[in-house]
Structure formats: C-alpha cells, structure tokens
Structure 1
Amino acid sequence: MVQVCANGSRAGVDGAVVPLSPESIAESVAAAVTAGATDVHVHPKTPCGRDSLSPRVLAATLDAVRARVPVPVPVGVTTGAWAEPDPAVRAARVRTWTVLPDHASVNWHEPGAEQVAAALIERGVGVEAGLWSGTDGPALFERSPLAPRVLRVLAEVTDTDPATARETARELLSAVGAAHGRPVLLHGEEAGTWPVLRLAGRLGLATRVGLEDTLCLPDGRRAASNAELVTAGLAEWASARRSGRA
C-alpha cells in the first residue's frame, strides 16, 4: 500500500504546487490515485491556510475529495495537536464532525492522544497511530489498551539526514516491535523520505509519499505534483523490493 500525503502542515510559502483549498486538494489527490496511490491522507485547511479540525472545514475537504476519488480508496485526516492544542477540545471536535473520514492519524506522543483515539474509535473512524522517532510514542503505544484496536501504525522517521535516516528507521521499527499485531506503514520526511521509502520496500512494508513529506523527487528536482511523487515512490519501492536494495 502506498498512501499519498497530499499537503501536511505546509502553506503557501512552500509553493503553488502544495494544495490548500478543498478543490485543489481534491484535484491533486485524484491525480495521485490515478498514478497509483491506494490510500489518502490530507490536512483540511481554513481559507487562510491553517490546519483545522472544524467540522465545517473537514466536511468541505472530505466532500470535495470523495467527489473526485473512487469510493474504495480510503480518505484520512490529521488530528495533530498543532491544529488544536487542548486535548479535550481536540476530542470534542471529533465528536462534532458531521462528515467522517475513513481514518485519522493520532500522534501517540502528544498529550491526550488516547483521549482523541478513543473519540475516533467511538465514532467508527479508523485510527492511524503515529509513532515518531525520537519520542516516547512507541513506549506509550506499547502500554496503551487502545493499541490492539488501531487501524495501523504510522512509523514516522523524523531524522531528515539522508545518511542516517535509514538506521533511525531500523531503530524505530525495533522500538515499535510487534505493534500489537497491527500493520505498519513506514515513512520519512524531507531528505530522509527516499532512503526510508526504499527501506520500506526492502522490508515489504506499506509506505507513503507526497508533498507533506517532501517537495523533491529522488534526484533532488522539485516535484510538480503529488502524482509525480507517487509515480516515483512506487518505482523506488518496487525496485528496492525486487533487488533487496535499501
């Protein structure tokens, strides 16, 4: 499985290629799915470009994406603390959503993660447990009674040094361990994106790629779209899988 992460917390300063409005997100995601993405992760934005958990903002984005993307393709959103720092308010927001995503990511190192995850599970929304390198997320997840109930684990390598990101990824996977039997999606960020994606291919793990994680293709050129990144990501993943190259 290759998930497209369409925009993340990026803003207009990152370039016109990053989709911010519901319509541009939907267009970009549809092209990425045509290119081979089988799952979607987006950050709904206010008109000023800020990540939001507002039911109105969420509904506008999900409706636009689902109008352009085939029904079997799951669409997920963020619940990052930067969108709403107060954990209780974050969980309350989830309970007011009028249009539900198929899944939502919850960063397990953030205060109130279990509270937010519980609210999502109550509403029938799949939880992607974000376990970041360099945090206590993996240890907290290991002890969590909700861990066996999540949809999958997002093993996120925050080491952006291409020389060390792969080893950091291996250390993170060791910390994640058996992940309570949940599927693991491994991905990196910025310059660490491609080494970690190749490792995911080598290990046969799901991965993700998109403008949230990197603005650049494997050769360093700026990507023109999420679709271009997905095309490159699928090729790199498959090549690493076939050759054993990580």
Structure 2
Amino acid sequence: MMQVCVNGRRSAADGAAVPLSPRELARSAAQAVAAGATEVHVHPKTPCGHDSLSPRVLAPTLDALRARVTVPLGVSTGAWAEPDPAARLDRVRGWSVRPDFASVNWHEPGAEEVAGQLLTMGIAVEAGIWSGTDGAARFAASPLGPSVLRVLAEVTDPDPATAEASAHVLLTGLGDAHGRPVLLHGEEGGAWPVLRLAGRLGLATRMGVEDTLSLPGGARAASNAQLVAEGLVQYGSFQRSS
C-alpha cells in the first residue's frame, strides 16, 4: 500500500509543489492517485496556510477531495493544529464531514481521548508512533491498541546515513504492535532509505511532499505524483531484490 501525504505542515514558502487550498489539494491528490497512490493523507489548512482541525476547514477540504478521488482519505490530528487537548477533542467532536481515518500521535497529550472519540464516531485511527518518543511504550500499554486501523511508524531521523538504523530501533520497540498492520515511513533525508526498507520488509509505506521535497539523488520534486511514481519504483525494486 502506498499512501500519499500531500502537504503536511509545509507552507507556500516550501515551493509550488506544496498544495494548500482545497482545490489544489484535490488536484494534487487526484494526480498522485493516478500515479499509483492507494490512500490520501492530508492536513487541512486555513486560508492563511495554518493546519486546522476546525469543522469549517475540514469539510470543504474533504468535499473537494472526494469530488476527485475515491480512495480512503485521512487527516492529521497533530497537537500543533490545536495544542490544548480539551479543545482538540471538541474540534473532533464537531466534525460533520468525516474522514475515513485520522492519525493520532500517541506521544501527544490527550492522544487516547482523541483516538477513543474518533473510534466512537466510526473514524478509523492510525496510531502515529514517532521515533525518539515514548509513543511505542504508551501504545503498547493502550487498551485501544487492538482497535486501531494500523500503526503509522514515523522515523523522525532525517539523516540518510542513520535513518534505516533508527527505523529498526522503532520497529523493535513496537514489538507486535497489538497485531495491527504497520505503515513505515521516514522524513526529509531519511525518507527514501526508510521507504526502501519498507519495501524489503514488505510493509506499507507513504510518500509525498509532507515527507520530502526531493527525489532520490537530490533533485527537487515537481509534484506529489512524481514522488509517488518514483516511490513505487524504489519500493518495488527493493522488494524484488530482497
């Protein structure tokens, strides 16, 4: 499975490849799906370009995406969009237009409550477990673990020389992950080494401008579609060579 992460916390300062408005997000997602992406992960943005969990921001973004693609759509519930745990929970409760799944970063305050609310609303949960945090230990002890859709294993080490080793440490810390499927991905300089590792291990992965703005070799990517297409080549090549 190849998920496309179409924008993340990036802004217009990161270049034209980063879609921000609902229309831009929908167009970029449609191109990425045509290139082979099987799911879409998006950060809905305010008109000023800030991540938001507001129903008034989420609804037009999801509506625009669903007008262009039929694959599952997921959003982030990252604490940077709403730092106060109680306010974050209220935002989620207010979603009238709902994503198919949402990622919850297990190391963040209020993660269990947000995940529980999402599950109550019929929204599947990706358990975001970041390297370098206590997320894996907290998830291992969570009674919600067996109910999540998958584990989103996020390698935050941006160094291409060490990201693969950091990924192995993260996966070891996850143990059996409550028996849930694992999607493994990296970021910045570590994005491509970790994607290739996912191919060798037969794990789901993701690619897009949230994770990296560059192609293997360092050239600037023109679009999410180009990143996805190259990601599938890299993933498949390393899967076959293992």
Normalised-by-shorter TM-score class: over 0.9
* Distance in 1 (alpha carbons) for counterparts of 2:145 and 2:85: 18
Q: Which runs of 5+ in 2 are unaligned?
A: none
Q: Name 1:38's counterpart in structure 2.
A: 38
The CA distance in 2 between the partners of 1:118 and 1:88, in whole Å, is: 13
- For 1:179 and 1:2, how far apart are their aligned partners in 2? 20
Within the candidate set 167, 187, 190, 2:188 is matched to: 190
**Equivalent-residue separation in structure 2 for 1:148 and 1:34 (angstroms):** 32
Q: C-alpha displacement at 1:83, in angstroms?
A: 0.1
SS of corresponding position for 2:67: helix
User: Which residue is 1:99 aligned to?
Assistant: 97
Deviation at 1:92, TM superposition (A): 1.1
Q: Secondary structure at the match of 2:222?
A: coil
What's 2:8 paired with?
Answer: 8
Q: Give distance in 2, aligned partners of 1:228 and 1:165.
A: 22
Q: 1:98 Cα shift? A: 1.0
CA offsets, 1:134-187, max 9 Å, x none?
Answer: 000000000001111000000000000000000000010000110001000000
Cα distance in 1 between the residues matched to 2:83 and 2:178: 28
Secondary structure, counterpart of 1:161 in structure 2: coil
Q: Which amino acid aligns with 1:146?
A: L
Aligned partner of residue 77 in structure 1, secondary structure: strand
Which of residues 118, 123, 126 in structure 2 aligns to 1:125? 123
Residue 63 of structure 1 corresponds to: 63
Question: Secondary structure of the residue that 1:68 maps to in structure 2?
Answer: coil
Other-structure match for 1:144: 142
- Aligned CA RMSD, in angstroms, stands at 0.5
Distance apart, 1:16 and its partner CA: 1.6
**CA distance in structure 2 between the aligned counterparts of 1:88 and 1:146, rounded to whole angstroms:** 19
Report the 3-state secondary structure (helix = DSSP H, G, I; strand = E; otherwise coil) of the residue aligned with 1:128: strand
Number of residue equivalences: 242
Distance 2:88 2:118 in 1: 11
SS of residue in 2 equivalent to 1:235: helix
AA in 1 matched with 2:212? T
Give the CA deviation at 1:17: 1.4
Deviation at 1:112, TM superposition (A): 0.4
Q: Distance in 1 between matches of 2:161 and 2:220?
A: 20
Name the amino acid aligned to 2:94. T
CA deviation after TM superposition for structure 1 residue 91, in Å: 1.1
Which AA in structure 2 matches 1:135? T
- Aligned identity (percent) is 71
Which amino acid in structure 1 is aligned with residue 62 of structure 2? L
In 1, the alpha carbon distance for the partners of 2:230 and 2:16 equals: 20
- Distance of 1:203 and 1:195 partners within structure 2: 12
Counterpart CA distance in 2 for 1:143 and 1:223 is 40
Q: Partner residue of 1:114?
A: 112
Amino acid paired to 2:119: I
Does residue 58 of structure 2 align to residue 21 of structure 1?
no
Q: CA deviation at 1:75?
A: 0.2
Q: Which 4+ residue blocks in structure 1 deviate beyond 2 angstroms?
A: none
Measure the CA separation in 1 of the matches of 2:80 and 2:100: 21
For 1:225 and 1:146, the matched residues in 2 are separated by: 36
Give TM-score scaled by structure 1 length.
Answer: 0.98
Q: In the alignment, which residue of structure 2 is the partner of 1:217?
A: 215
- Could you say which residue in structure 2 is the equivalent of 1:206? 204
What is the letter of the counterpart of residue 29 of structure 2?
Answer: V
Question: Structure 1: which 5+ runs fail to align?
Answer: none
**Secondary structure of the equivalent of 1:115?**
helix
8 Å contact kept, 1:88–1:115: no
